[in-house]
Amino acid sequence: MTAPSPAAAFIDFLAPAHEVAPSLIGVEVLVDGVGGRIVETEAYDREDPASHSHRGPTPRNAAMFGPPGRAYVYRSYGIHWCLNFVCGPEGHGAGVLIRALAPTEGLARMRERRGVQDVRLLAAGPGRVAQALGVDASFNHLRLDAPPFELRPRPAGENIQVQTGPRIGITRAADVPWRFGEAASPFLSRPFPRR
């Protein structure tokens, strides 16, 4: 039983990843008070050959098969960390990769961690997001509705244009349009291809 807590009740993490992913655009994510608005996400699930969960549970992807509404953190290219939100019913192996933020809180801290000044380079890309937020392996499995995490809904009435496109950096199922982003945001990891 995973009763949604008030802090994140506005997101239904039981829904499929490809539905949660676009609904996260505009949501503010903070780690110990540092973070910003999500402007880019990607969805992955077990039926998806590009997903870490595709071949079933392993020690690395265990969080994806655990309760929804938690963090799945993995090491990328032996160098970077990447942050995902676990979705779907427990055991389904689905998640949403947080690919880019528009920084709002704790800019100084993020500049410190990232070693760059340009606000557009603080969290534009999944590795940069994790570094800016100070997220590493110790955050794997943590609940998203309790400290150090905090999620804040997109302000009511605010209209955000969500764009769709193919996911980035994958070889298999490269045509699946499960990348979502705020149209024309200067904080995207990459622009969306023209259609």
Partner DNA sequence: AGTATGATTGCCT
Partner DNA sequence: GGCAATCATACTG
Give residues in contact with DNA (CB under 7 A).
42, 44, 50-53, 55, 58-61, 64, 72, 75-80, 82, 84, 95, 97, 114, 116, 121, 125-129, 167-171, 189
For 23, the 3-state DSSP assignment is helix
Q: Let me know: does 23 contact 11? Beta carbons within 8 Å.
A: yes
Smallest distance from DNA to CB 172, Å: 7
Find where tokens 């655990």 sit: 66
Residues 145, 162: Cα–Cα separation, whole Å: 24
Smallest distance from DNA to CB 127, Å: 3
Smallest distance from DNA to CB 166, Å: 12
Smallest distance from DNA to CB 30, Å: 19
Q: Which one, 28 or 48, has the nearer CB to DNA?
A: 48
How many residues would you count in the chain? 195
Residues 36, 121: Cα–Cα separation, whole Å: 13
Smallest distance from DNA to CB 39, Å: 13
Q: Which one, 44 or 139, has the nearer CB to DNA?
A: 44
Q: Which one, 10 or 60, has the nearer CB to DNA?
A: 60
Q: Which one, 1 or 163, has the nearer CB to DNA?
A: 163
Residues 75, 92: Cα–Cα separation, whole Å: 21
Residues 30, 152: Cα–Cα separation, whole Å: 8
Among 8, 3, 6, residue whose Cα is nearest residue 149: 8
Number of C-alpha atoms within 13 angstroms, CB side, residue 179?
Answer: 22
List all residues 6 or more positions away from 166 whose beta carbon is below 8 Å from its beta carbon. 174, 175, 176, 177, 179, 193
Q: Which one, 60 or 161, has the nearer CB to DNA?
A: 60
Q: Which residues pair with residue 149 across a beta bridge?
A: 31
Q: Which one, 53 or 163, has the nearer CB to DNA?
A: 53
Smallest distance from DNA to CB 60, Å: 3
